[in-house]
A and B are shown apart, each in its own frame.
Chain A
Amino acid sequence: MNVENWLALGGAAVLALLVVAELRRRAVTSAAGRRFFRHPTAAPGVFALAFFVTVAVAAPVVAPYPPYYQIARRENLRPSPQHVLGTDPYGRDVLSRLVYGARISLGIGALGMAVAVTVGAIVGGVAGYFRGWVDTALMRLVDVGLAMPRIFVLLMAVALTEHISLWVLVLLIGLTGWFGTSRLVRAEVLSLREREFAAAARAMGAGAGRVIFRHVLPNAAAPIIVSAALGIGSVMLLEAGLSFLGMGVPSPVPSWGNMIADGWIKMAVAPWAATFPGLAISLVVMALNAVGDALRDALDPRKEAV
Chain B
Amino acid sequence: MAAWLVRRLAASIAIVLAVVTITFFVVHLAHGDPCGGGEQRPLPEEMCRRLRARFGYDQPVYVQYAKYLVALLHGDLGESLGLHRPVADALADAIPNTFTLALAALVIDFALGLALGIYQAVRERSVVDIALGNAALFVNSMPVFWLGLVVLLVFAQRLHWFPVGGLGDPVLCPSVASLPCQLDFLWHLALPALTLGLVGAAGTARYQRAAMLEVIGQDYVRTARAKGLPERRVLLVHALRNALLPFITLIGLTFPFLLTGAVLVETVFAWPGMGRLAVNAILQRDYPVVTGAALVASGMVVLGSLIADVLYGVADPRIRVRDA
Contact = CB atoms under 8 A, between A and B. Distances in A.
B257 to A, nearest CB: 10
A156 B30 CA distance: 11
Interface in B100-156: 130, 134, 137-138, 140-147, 149-150, 152-153
A143 B305 CA distance: 11
A282 B142 contact: yes
Nearest to B258: A149
A286 B141 contact: yes
Interface string B291-303: 0011001100110
B102 to A, nearest CB: 13
B77 to A, nearest CB: 16
Contacts of B301: 146-149
A146 B297 CA distance: 11
Contacts of A81: none
A12 to B, nearest CB: 21
Contact of A149 (B15, B18, B31, B297): B297
B213 interface: yes
A264 B26 contact: no
B214 A281 contact: no
B264 A244 contact: yes
A281 B38 contact: no
A41 interface: yes
Interface string B7-42: 000010001101100110011001100000010000
B313 interface: no
B256 A149 contact: yes
A278 B146 contact: yes
B15 A147 contact: yes
Interface residues of B, number: 53
Contact of A155 (B145, B146, B282): B282
B263 A151 contact: yes
Contacts of A72: none
Given A147-B301, A160-B27, A160-B30, A274 B146 contact: yes
A241 interface: yes
B132 to A, nearest CB: 13
B211 interface: yes
Interface string B56-81: 00000000000000000000000000
A152 B278 contact: yes
Given A241-B143, A260-B143, A282-B138, A159 B294 contact: no
Contacts of B91: none
B285 A159 contact: yes
Nearest to A278: B146
Interface in A242-266: 244-247, 257, 260, 264
B213 A305 contact: yes
Contacts of B30: 160
B204 interface: no
Interface string A224-242: 0000000001000100110
A40 B134 CA distance: 10
B22 to A, nearest CB: 7
Contact of B145 (A148, A241, A289, A305): A241
A268 interface: yes
B181 interface: no
A60 interface: no
B260 interface: yes
B211 A306 contact: yes
B191 interface: no
A156 B267 contact: no
B171 interface: no
B94 interface: no
Contacts of A41: 134, 137
B283 interface: yes
Contacts of B162: none
Contacts of A240: 143, 145-146
Q: Which of A40, A151, A281, A289 has the most CB of B within 10 A?
A: A151
21 contacts: A143-B15, A148-B22, A148-B298, A151-B264, A152-B278, A155-B282, A156-B23, A160-B26, A240-B146, A244-B143, A244-B145, A245-B263, A245-B267, A264-B149, A267-B149, A278-B150, A281-B141, A282-B138, A285-B141, A286-B137, A305-B210
Interface of B: 11, 15-16, 18-19, 22-23, 26-27, 30-31, 38, 130, 134, 137-138, 140-147, 149-150, 152-153, 157, 207, 210-211, 213-214, 246, 256, 259-260, 263-264, 267, 278-279, 282-283, 285, 290, 293-294, 297-298, 301-302
Given A246-B283, A282-B141, A289-B140, 15 more contacts: A143-B15, A147-B298, A148-B22, A149-B260, A149-B297, A149-B301, A152-B259, A152-B293, A152-B297, A156-B290, A159-B285, A240-B143, A244-B145, A247-B282, A290-B137
